[in-house]
Amino acid sequence: MRVLGLDPGLRRTGWGVIEIDGAKLRFIAAGCIAAEVQETLAPRLAELHNAVMAITDQFTPDEVAIEETFVNVNPASTLKLGQARAAALLAPALRGLPVAEYSPTQVKKSVTGSGSAGKEQVQGMIATLLPGFRGMGGPDAADALATAICHAHHGATAARWAAALLRS
């Protein structure tokens, strides 16, 4: 199964693609969508949406995992981040892809064992877990790959639960 992980942001959206084969994870690609800061909100959201559409077309994921909005002390920033998330969510939805959402704490805990891990820790663990990843796209891409790995762990557990329920 191929999973696209997304770490949405209004200025920088990280993305990463992995393949899951049982307990094995394989790095496929990663990068960062950087919006033009001079643009107003609407063109930046359109740029983000179009880039995620192109990534889904190029890498043909089976599922998508996205990080939930981190609630900020500044309500305006949180709202804008939510709009970026919506632009990113729309692309896989239009392709009919299932989308799973995970909190930042769940994502960090899945790859580092600590829900309060820093970006450097996450990036280091991604390099260990996915040897093909060499830091391209920086911490935003690493966070997106962490989201995909989080989905790999949670998706496998959900599949085992579903299979157990079918047997009973």
Residue 7 annotated among the catalytic residues of the structure: yes
How confident is the model at residue 38, as a pLDDT?
A: 74
SS3 percent helix, strand, coil of the chain, rounded to 5, is 55, 20, 25
Which one of the listed residues 7, 36, 63, 68 is annotated catalytic? Answer: 7
pLDDT digits (tens, 9 = 90+) for 14-43: 999 999 998 899 999 999 999 877 778 899
Scored b (16 or more CB within 10 A) or e, 119-145 reads: eebbbebbbebbeebeeebebbbbbbb
CATH number of residue 95's parent domain? 3.30.420.10
Residue 21 annotated among the catalytic residues of the structure: no
How confident is the model at residue 152, as a pLDDT?
A: 94
Structural domain boundaries enclosing 49: 2-167
How confident is the model at residue 159, as a pLDDT?
A: 58
Q: Which residues of the chain have pLDDT under 50?
A: none
Which one of the listed residues 39, 67, 101, 143 is annotated catalytic? Answer: 67
Mean pLDDT of the residues in the chain: 88
CB 108 within 8 A of CB 115: yes
Q: Distances in Å between the alpha carbon of 47 and those of 17, 40, 91, 133, 144?
A: 20, 11, 11, 25, 18
Residue 143 annotated among the catalytic residues of the structure: no
pTM value surpassing 0.75: yes
Provide the domain count of the chain: 1
Which one of the listed residues 36, 57, 62, 140 is annotated catalytic? Answer: 140
Question: Rounded distance, CA 107 to CA 150, Å?
Answer: 5
